[in-house]
Amino acid sequence: MALQYEFPVVSTGNLGTAVDTYASTVSTQPPTNTPSNPNGALNPIGAAFLIAPGSPLLPVAQYYPSASGSLNSNGWGAPLIVRYVRYVSTTAAAWLAYPAPVYWTDETYTTVTGTFLEGLPASTGNLNSLAGWALPNTTIYPGSKTGAQLNTIINGNFIFIATKGFVSGAAVVASTAVGDAIIGTSGNFTVTRTASGSAPLCSRNALALSAVTANVTSDIWINCDPTF
């Protein structure tokens, strides 16, 4: 019996730059559409994939800071779970220069938004609706796009988000310290933190592994995917 969907179809060869156009007419874009991947999606919508450490699909600058691939590179031994989802937001907030948090919009678990108040439940937002960190960003996407320009490119289309594992230089909150629990909060592409040793307000969505930088980013271990 043939196996299917072990590996994602990544249109650009890079999880951080792949943006696949949503097609309202299902026959206008390959592959041949099935119930699991309609509307021009190149993978089943919502599907999860395990990306092996050192995979060429992972941007070196984002995940393995040592371009030489040294075994001492942060995150080198950490696999990553990604999901293929549609990004839809009426707020149309400008995208960030680094991986940023996104929220599930409904119970299909196929669609995300960068705006907390557009998330579950019933488009009112909830701390536990954090889906993961979107991989596209203005730093890695080609063409030196602004955040607003990148929103125009992505909004309504299919992207990859990280739902579990190590991500370097991800968006956090300015007060983040090593060991903090990272959780959802109101805003656009925004999270907050609970100090290490304190009970978080909801399930811990990520763990801060490094001190926050001037760009308000940190290395994090994401834990948003209960299926793995």
Q: What is the pLDDT of residues 116-163, one digit of tens each?
A: 999 888 767 677 789 999 999 999 999 999 999 999 999 999 999 999
Residue 169 resides in a domain = no
> Distance (Å, rounded) from C-alpha 1 to C-alpha 224?
32
Distance CA 171, CA 220 (A): 9
Pairing between β-strand 48-51 and β-strand 80-87 as defined by DSSP bridges: antiparallel
Phi-psi region of 69 (alpha: psi -120 to 50; beta: other; left: phi over 0): left
Residue 194 lies in a domain: no
Task: Give the range of the structural domain holding residue 140, as residue numbers without chain letter.
Answer: 48-163
Task: Please indicate, yes or no, if residue 101 is contained in any of the structural domains.
Answer: yes
Residue for token pair 């040592």 = 66
Say if CB 156 and CB 87 are below 8 A apart: yes
Which of 68, 15, 22, 79 lies closest to 45, judged by CA? 22
The count of structural domains within the chain is: 1
**Residues sharing a CB contact under 8 Å with residue 126, sequence separation 6 or more, in sequence order:** 119, 120, 184
Q: At residue 198, does pLDDT exceed 80?
A: no
Q: Is 108 left (phi over 0), alpha (psi -120 to 50) or beta?
A: alpha
Query: Is 120 a domain residue?
Result: yes
Q: What is the mean pLDDT of the chain?
A: 83
Residue 65: is its pLDDT beyond 60?
no
